Amino acid sequence: MPNHPLTPEDRVINPASIAMLRKAEADGVDTCFHRFDALGTQCRFGVTGVCCKNCHMGPCRITPKSPRGICGADADTIVARNFLREVTGGCAAHSDHGRHLVLRLKAVAEGKGGDYRITDRKALLRIAGKYGIETAGREDNAIALELANTFLADFTAQEETLKTLTLAPRKQQAIWEKVGVAPMGIDRMCVEAMHRTHMGVDHDYRNLLLHAFRTALADGWGGARIASMAADILFGTPKPLRSEANLGVLEEKQVNIIVHGHEPALSEMLAVAARDPEVIAYAKAAGAEGVNLAGLCCTANEILMRRGVRVAGNFHQQELAIVTGVVEMMVVDVQCIMPSLPTVAASYHTEIVSTADAAKTIGATHIAFRASDGLASAKAIVKRAVDNFAKRDPGKVLVPAVKQPLVAGFSVEAIKYMLGGTYRASFRPLNDAIIQGRIRGVAGIVGCNNPKTQADSYINTVTRELIKRNVLVLQTGCAAQASAKAGALTPETALAEAGKGLREVCEAVGIPPILHMGSCVDNARILEAATEIVLEGGLGDDIGGLPAVGIAPEWMSEKAVTIGCYFVASGCDVILGLPFHISGSENVTRFLQEEATELFGGAFHDIPDPLAAADKTLELIEAARERLGINAKAERKLFDMKDRRQLDV
């Protein structure tokens, strides 16, 4: 960050956000950026992870003069306990989201699903098959019920390890067994984590961190993976489609409704309701040209991936979207919703509507979403937004004319199909391109924005640099939306910037060099893609052996900590643009940044500069290629081809 008072240009990179930050300042509206300034220097004890308030003898803070808390806990114990609690928060968030979808699937299977149904029968059969569930000659609902109960057992299992772990490569499973981190039921892992971090229980930082990896695996190879699968069955497996992103998707002449949060059940129904002829007629009668539904954060990704609904913005734009003055309603459910929204909305006519009983905010209108009559509930919410249209103040309206086209919808099934076609859907062409060296490797770029950095800047720089250097990029969450707003999610733009080898492969098979794979639970799809690459053959027998790296450039959420941990436990190195709060313990730092490699094959790397992150990614990828022996093979193969051509002449 520069040494002068920060300007909007210093805080955000996107012109739409710059314009709205200026307007917010003119309108006297505080945003996360202003509150970040107001906080001043952040607490050193919090930043280094050495503050403990796990019992009421404390709070205790570790300093050189007082190296132990009142109970005797040292910095290692306190930092590791805090870290484990963060991982548990992330696992719980993703997994509760997954649980809701599974319960919805179960209700559908039992004929109690209301307006929900099994939209993707192929997905049901494919996923049931992965779990060894008999499908031949059975009713869909019977298969769905058995599958839903199998998923639910992964939440409640007390002694058995998760069934979903068996979707990982065998060697990966063996590593987890050997290290002792194969998780039992998701709920049990979270409860055990809270128990172990209670005063006077687990004090060994290694033991605590191993449970952090175990809990994270219960997310990535449990709750999050289950969430993606259940959503695919209920709402459809994503396929590539075109759409648009940025605040310019808001329409001045229409009723604008933004859906923000994570779970797709409500947003799917809102998408249907917004197109309902009766609702559109209602909007026209109110003087609007129609109803414009747009998304924010991961709810945006869910309905973008399946319906092409346009994206208003990512995490840092949730307040800025309201500042446009044209948002009649922001409908929120769970996760990443700033409690400031009703305060920002008070300066405009926007109504904030919360819909999840587990997530209320003072100042928001709470309308509990009833899945049993989902469409009727959604229609009522949309009509309420229409009623708010008349309250819009034209003097406060400014919609930045900034939006970019994009292509999204790259589920693993879609990638497989694009690589091999209907009859030979497979990852073979991708594996071959990696083995030949035309694609050097794969990077998963994921995560949020954080006012500690210029929003979207690191994400965009590292992404562009990696495709230039022939690395295929898989993205999710707000990182994918940052790329979309930068215009990098159209095949045309990205291909023009990609290195020669990557471009040739992408053109030959018809995929873009940056693949938007979905929301933050869909990071599990990146693991699924990595598994497909391993199973396809020729690149080792575990994910840890692949030339693949995870990058979380601008992360802020506990979910991101958990995602990082399940990537590392799955063998991938993970680069963090912003560090964890662990520097108060050298032992914890060493464990996560070095010793994890000996256990899993990957570790964390703090790299604040995006170009240095690209360098490190290539270094890690090239090291993996050397270990696989594919650099040597590629050289030999080229030599053979040349020889043959010379013989022909």
Which stretches of the chain bind ligand MSK, using CB under 6 A? Answer: 262, 297-298, 315, 336, 447-448, 477-478, 519-520, 557, 559
CB atoms within 10 A of CB 26: 10
Among ligand MSK, ligand SF4, none, what binds residue 157 when CB lies within 5 to 8 Å by partner kind?
Answer: none
Q: Which is nearer to ligand MSK, 113 or 477 (CB)?
A: 477
Q: Which is nearer to ligand SF4, 71 or 495 (CB)?
A: 71
Among ligand SF4, ligand MSK, none, what binds residue 339 when CB lies within 5 to 8 Å by partner kind?
Answer: none
Among ligand MSK, ligand SF4, none, what binds residue 405 when CB lies within 5 to 8 Å by partner kind?
Answer: none
Q: At its nearest, how many Å lie between ligand MSK and the CB of residue 411?
A: 17
From residue 569, give the alpha-carbon distance in Å to each of 110, 139, 190, 558. 37, 38, 17, 17
Q: Which is nearer to ligand SF4, 44 or 452 (CB)?
A: 44
Q: At its nearest, how many Å lie between ligand SF4 and the CB of residue 183?
A: 26
Question: What amino acid is encoded at 447 in this protein?
Answer: G
Q: At its nearest, how many Å lie between ligand MSK and the CB of residue 565?
A: 15
Beta-ladder partners of 68: 74
Q: At its nearest, how many Å lie between ligand SF4 and the CB of residue 604?
A: 25
Q: Which is nearer to ligand MSK, 559 or 625 (CB)?
A: 559
Q: Assign 3-class secondary structure to 428-453.
A: HHHHHHHHHCCCCEEEEECCCCCCCC
Residue 426 contacts by C-beta under 8 Å, 6 or more apart in sequence? 416, 419, 420, 536
d(CA 361, CA 339): 6
Query: What's the chain's length in residues?
Result: 649
Among ligand SF4, ligand MSK, none, what binds residue 52 when CB lies within 5 to 8 Å by partner kind?
Answer: ligand SF4
The first and second tokens of residue 338, run together, are 């700033």
Q: Which is nearer to ligand SF4, 78 or 249 (CB)?
A: 78
Among ligand SF4, ligand MSK, none, what binds residue 337 when CB lies within 5 to 8 Å by partner kind?
Answer: none
How wide is the angle at C-alpha 216 spanned by C-alphas 58 and 567, nearest 5°? 125
Q: Which is nearer to ligand SF4, 60 or 167 (CB)?
A: 60
Q: At its nearest, how many Å lie between ligand SF4 and the CB of residue 66?
A: 10
CB atoms within 10 A of CB 556: 21
Among ligand SF4, ligand MSK, none, what binds residue 559 when CB lies within 5 to 8 Å by partner kind?
Answer: ligand MSK
Q: At its nearest, how many Å lie between ligand MSK and the CB of residue 330?
A: 14
The answer to whether 635 and 641 have CB atoms below 8 angstroms apart is no
d(CA 201, CA 184): 20
HSE toward the beta carbon, residue 583, CA cutoff 13 A: 10
Angle between helices 523-536 and 428-436 (to 10 degrees): 80
Q: Assign 3-class secondary structure to 572-584.
A: CEEEECCCCCCCC
Q: Which is nearer to ligand SF4, 200 or 510 (CB)?
A: 200
Q: At its nearest, how many Å lie between ligand MSK and the CB of residue 557?
A: 4
Q: Which residues bind ligand SF4 (CB under 6 A)?
A: 52-55, 57-60, 69-71, 73, 78, 199
Q: At its nearest, how many Å lie between ligand MSK and the CB of residue 560?
A: 6
Q: Which is nearer to ligand SF4, 70 or 611 (CB)?
A: 70
